[in-house]
Amino acid sequence: MKNKFMKVLLAVVLVSALFTSCKPKNTGNAVAGNAEKAYVAPGKYDEFYNFVSGGFSGQLSVYGLPSGRLFRVIPVFSVDPEKGWGYSEETKPMLNTSQGFVPWDDLHHTELSQTNGEVDGRWVFGNANNTPRIARIDLKTFKTAEIIELPNSGGNHSSPFITENTEYVVAGTRFSVPADYSNGDVAINTYKENFKGHISFVKVGKEGEMDLAFQIVTPGVNFDLSHAGKGKSHGWFFFSCYNTEQANTLLEVNASQKDKDFIMAVNWKKAEEYLKSGKAKKQSVKYAHNKWNEKTHTATSEIKNEVMVLDAAELKDICYMIPCPKSPHGCDVDPTGEYIVGSGKLAALIPVFSFDKLQDAIKNKKFDGNYGGINVIKYEAALHGEVQKPGLGPLHTEFDGKGNAYTTFFVSSEVVKWDIKSLKVLDRVPTYYSVGHLCIPGGDSKKPFGKYLIAYNKITKDRYLPTGPELAQSAQIFDISGDKMELVLDFPTIGEPHYAQAAPADLIRNNGQLKFYKIADNNHPFVAKGEKEAKVVRSGNRVDVYMTSIRSHFAPDNIEGIKLGDEVYFHVTNLEQDWDVPHGFAVKGADNGELLIMPGETATLKWKPNRVGIFPMYCTDFCSALHQEMQGYIRVSPAGSSVPLTWSVGTNLPKTK
Amino acid sequence: MKTYKISTVSKAILLIVAILFIGSLFVPMWQIELEAPQYPEGLVLKLHANKIGGDVEIINGLNHYIGMATLHTENFFEFTILPYIFGGFAAISLLLIFIAKRKAVLIFFISYILFVVLAAIDFYRWNYEYGHNLDPNAAIKVPGMAYQPPLIGYKQLLNFGAYSVPDTGGWMLTACGLLLFFIIFKEYKLFTKKKIN
């Protein structure tokens, strides 16, 4: 009896042990020995800069790799009161659009500028998804230098991808909409007749200046992502599109009906020829073009009214549709430019297309009808092959430059490494959880640096200490230098880390980083280049304060004679001429942000006092040992008061006797 | 008394000395390096024959905390006369080639050494002046503390470590002194042991 009991007990223990060992482990701990791979000692520099989009934060964050340390959040499409972005008078025009001032957007993708298909460290571009725009961030100053709006668009998602010499940065409309140059007051269920797709080619000049060169109008579909050809396929651009069903409601179901949607191949060199030969129609639209001027430290916004539009249905040899299974999302071109990887987000395979075969198919007209007037290539004719059973829900692919591709799988929550030529799966690692984009430094260029792979996850759950219902977002670094991918580090990010690019640290560190602005070159109309130029000028209700800041005082720091009803503009010039000596400025009760003023810069805070009294103002950036002394007072008197306008620093002393 | 004419080698050396004197006008003579926790990259004052260079604006910006006067080239008469003095030294060196008397070289050498001593005293005096003559209203007052940089070598001044050493021009002037000394040694035959009669 006792013996039998022991046997049963043993059997239960064994069986449960078997079950336990069969259950997959869910913590995915990095091997302890990998921790040092992410360790960057205090005072040492990271190997790579990682430019991570902030997703719905609208900003762009800068991390170090492999440490995952956050260096800076660059305000781009959303206001940032901490930096005065969208609050100072100078920055307000940067967020101007044809709809007026827009304080928020959704920055999905980043793209580093390239020369000869290699990352060159000059600029990084970002897209605004909601109110369609493209921004250019200067990597000498890590500041948003330019923003251009895109007409005829809704949801600029397939952007801001570039050609291999940064000739163009592109945009595509996720929501097809009636063109701005047509009547928009139509029934929503007339999508098929009235809704159009527009993809935009924005020319990038030598100094980075952007110009909307032309748009191509297509049948109404959802454009999702894009990538330029490179090397042999330079001159072509590939856009994934879904909702070829042209549904206008319940897309979840209605846009998932067809077995295949498309990757649209665009011959942009051909489009350029048609533009030159006058085949484009000039259409009347409205879009904003905003530029930052580093000499005046001020942005200007210009509303433009025209765009050249080429019709893809009419000009047959610009666009071709390549069938791609199940609502393609990612559309990635390998470093050689030969292979185009489509990722049907509902598919259980990855189709890989061949540029050579595509050219052959076009030459020999291996077409399978047309879609809205655009020739559809036969699927088999352009196909290099399919990766079989890679995982579930492929989204995005990047490359290591050694013949391997790495694809993320949202549904099966993993990264899969496969061989581009043989299409064989080589390795797979789980991600925590549900990875979206991935980044390998230079991973979408001709020259990837295949050392690290970063997965940007969509779900965080139990990865960090809980913080209520809203959790940190999560990224994970893998070492991909060996045959097997190895998890090295988890790091939390700001906003939603939608997509990211990375570049070798030295490329950007040594690009001529600006340390401070030269005060002599400051052409701000309200600059005070020394305390002698500090003054207060009244014209009607407008009061301009030409103020200077230097450790550790403002000039002037006592101002009297401001009256209720006045609009006061504090133009604060930071007189410092040394690295890392910013000053801040804030005034009590201002319905505004603060100013953060870099050495040699001038910034303006508008303030409309709403009551009589004494208003303190102070420096907000701990600048020196006497930072806490860096303060002043403004006296606000009733409207019509006879208190004269006076200002001073150091001389307004108590009356003696 | 017989006058000794100096050798061709010595004349050649005098030519080098003249060139070094001229050369020293174009490079900084002296430098004071400053290091602090907040300035890992360091700050440096470069003293040329005719001006103060280096991070003088930044240092002037910091001086007010301790009440030290700001540094301006025009406040030092030395910067107007030093170029002429070095030019003069160069001219004398050239002249000595033609005079070619070893005694003349000796006199020049002694005068030069005297000049160096006077210059060092002058430099010390200015250091003392700037280090001690502090604004009584300064924000930072440490009883008994003076901020006199060292004449030569290292000294800690509050959070700053000051390191005062010759710069390129200073080393050129040092070479001038050594070369002149070498000529004298050579021409007065101090290398050869005196014969015992």
pLDDT digits (tens, 9 = 90+) for A453-488: 999 999 999 999 999 999 999 999 999 999 999 999
Task: For residue A578, give how far its alpha carbon lies from the nearest alpha carbon of chain B (Å).
Answer: 7
* pLDDT of A16 higher than 70: no
pLDDT of residue B197: 46
Does A56-509 carry CATH code 3.40.50.1220? no
- Token pair 């010759």: residue: B166
ipTM: 0.80
Could you tell me if B65 lies within 8 Å of chain A, comparing CB atoms?
A: yes
A9 phi-psi bin (left φ>0, alpha ψ -120 to 50, beta other): alpha
Is A625's CB within 8 Å of B58's CB?
A: no
The reply to whether the predicted model has a pTM over 0.95 is no
Q: How far is CA A470 from CA A457, A460, B43, in A?
A: 15, 10, 47
> Mean pLDDT, to the nearest integer, of A519-524?
98
Total tally of structural domains belonging to chain B: 1
Could you tell me if A1 lies within 8 Å of chain B, comparing CB atoms?
A: no
Length of chain B: 197
Residues 32-51 of chain B with CB under 8 A from chain A are 41
* pLDDT of A2 higher than 70: no
Asked whether residue B123 is assigned to any structural domain, the reply reads yes
Establish whether domains A56-509 and A519-648 are of one fold: no
Asked whether residue B196 is assigned to any structural domain, the reply reads no
> Mean pLDDT, to the nearest integer, of B140-153?
88
> Mean pLDDT, to the nearest integer, of A572-576?
97
pLDDT of residue B45: 94
* pLDDT of B194 higher than 80: no
Is B139's CB within 8 Å of A551's CB?
A: no
Contacts of residue B65 in chain A, CB cutoff 8 Å?
624-626
Average the pLDDT over each of A60-74, A219-233, A604-618, B49-63 and give the range with the smallest value: B49-63
Q: Quick one: B103 exposed, middle or buried, by C-beta within 10 A (0-12, 13-18, 19+)?
A: middle
pLDDT of residue A23: 52
Q: Two tokens at A486? A: 């190895």
Average pLDDT over chain A, rounded to an integer: 95
- Token pair 């050239």: residue: B94
CA distance A253 to A301: 41
DSSP helix/strand/coil, A100? strand
Compute and round to an integer the Cα radius of gyration of chain A. Answer: 29
pLDDT of residue B142: 86
* pLDDT of B1 higher than 50: no
Task: For residue A506, give how far its alpha carbon lies from the nearest alpha carbon of chain B (Å).
Answer: 19
pLDDT of residue A20: 53
Crossing angle of helices B8-23 and B78-99, in 10° steps, is 160
| Candidate CATH numbers 1.10.3720.10, 2.60.40.420, 3.40.50.11610, 3.20.20.70; the one for domain A519-648 | 2.60.40.420
Q: Which residues pair with A411 in a beta bridge?
A: none
Asked whether residue B46 is assigned to any structural domain, the reply reads yes
CA distance A4 to A317: 82
CA distance A250 to A244: 14
- Which of B58, B65, B140 faces A578 most closely, judged by CB atoms? B58
* pLDDT of A21 higher than 90: no
Highest mean pLDDT among A205-214, B63-72, B183-192 belongs to A205-214
Tell me, what amino acid is at A126?
G
Could you tell me if A550 lies within 8 Å of chain B, comparing CB atoms?
A: yes
Pair A158, A171: CB distance under 8 Å: yes
Contacts of residue A626 in chain B, CB cutoff 8 Å?
65, 139
Is B57's CB within 8 Å of A626's CB?
A: no
User: Could you list the residue range(s) of the whole structural domain that residue B99 is in?
Assistant: 8-187
* pLDDT of A218 higher than 60: yes
Could you tell me if B61 lies within 8 Å of chain A, comparing CB atoms?
A: yes
In chain A, the largest separation of any two C-alpha atoms, in whole Å, equals 110
> What residue ranges do the domains of chain A occupy?
56-509, 519-648
Task: For residue A71, give how far its alpha carbon lies from the nearest alpha carbon of chain B (Å).
Answer: 19
Q: Give the pLDDT confidence of A387-433 residue by residue, as tens digits.
A: 999 999 999 999 999 999 999 999 999 999 999 999 999 999 999 99
Is A578's CB within 8 Å of B139's CB?
A: no
> Mean pLDDT, to the nearest integer, of A83-104?
98
Say how many C-beta atoms besides its own lie within 10 A of residue A304's C-beta.
16
B159 pLDDT band, cuts 50/70/90, is: confident
From first CA to last CA, the distance across chain A in angstroms is 110
pLDDT of residue A216: 98
DSSP helix/strand/coil, A551? coil
Q: How far is CA A332 from CA A6, A160, B151, in A?
A: 61, 14, 66
Task: For residue A646, give how far its alpha carbon lies from the nearest alpha carbon of chain B (Å).
Answer: 25
